[in-house]
Structure 1
């Protein structure tokens, strides 16, 4: 079963085609990789999925329903969450406070419940605090819960950003270069973490990444973009052996050396 489908999707900015007639499907509970040279259209695809950009032509289906044309908040409510290439945290709040704030998106009590601090309010608050604690444990953040986000090393800020994204109970999680700025050891730990996230949360993931070791190590299927066009799609081994992909990354001259 496919959770996400792109059918002949095109995005144009004036006379520039950022994404052209792209088709792909993402199977439920899978990890789907999206790679390509800089400017290939990868982040544009994330922006189309989340409604930041509107589709010029074609359609995007989520759980069989067309979502292009919906507002970003409506798409988020359907269960699609993303992280960003540039980390976006509440830098002056602690780890615990950052995750708890994200958990409040799913709180279903009203302002009067909060003012009266009635049973409904107390139950929801307890659930959110428990969820915050669980997320910190899974992400390995529990020993740092009182540290201000701005004081965290870069790799831990990435973990916190992913934890915040998971707080909204997504069905589809979009990770935009989660290993950016990480050293090899941190990248290896992130690979293990991504596998753990799928196991624990039963969430489908699409990953944009330039670290090929990570992409090849975690993804069930990979799509390669080049100049906004789909260049190839397949398993890690199929992508590694694809001559068009090698040429796009290394250049034709190097291939013939």
Structure 2
């Protein structure tokens, strides 16, 4: 699918049989699809640094409520979208390029009874033409920009589909320097060919060019590095991969990704930020 600007549908995002692995994992932790909770699913569907804790912080920052319709641009398995819908009563539409993630996420919606509040559409975040101008009361994107080459088109599309005065929240990995290459593979890319990490300065410039009014930039790099250290410590203590965890999503390549996450933070190659902004009223 060369016409798409988001990362291509390769094995990095298309590890087949994901739903079955999650179902098996639920049994290993003593639950099942008809009893699973959102927080239990968070072990596998919060596919970003700091996981569920970060999602809960982002929900507070976004400030939406019942009756609002929110866009989740690059929704993955839909974990954050489900948390947002359950916490606030809003309706969420997610868009993601991975067919496997969308199909799996729709089933997970049913497992927790949120299929009427959360929809997951297969599509490219740089082409939201299926949605009318001013369709959404708010939007967020969580660990997606690193996989999108054409950020100008991405942010312009989000801007277009938002209502005037609506908030847009970005939670992304950023480059500390344009000169320092990253160690790969990382969670979003196997090599530099599909990684499009930018500095904070470049990110803010792209958002401003799209028309957004910039709000607060929060540097969460220290918290991201600590999260990785804790993640590695838990893996080492357990000795085996968890029955329900990101290993089910990433597969065997996870053992290469984890040390690279630590190195990139420790060597100051990547940072972690949240950025609030608004479409002018």
Tell me which protein shows more strand as a share of its residues. 1
TM-score normalised to structure 2 length: 0.27
Determine which structure has more spread, i.e. the larger CA radius of gyration: 1
TM-score normalised to structure 1 length: 0.29
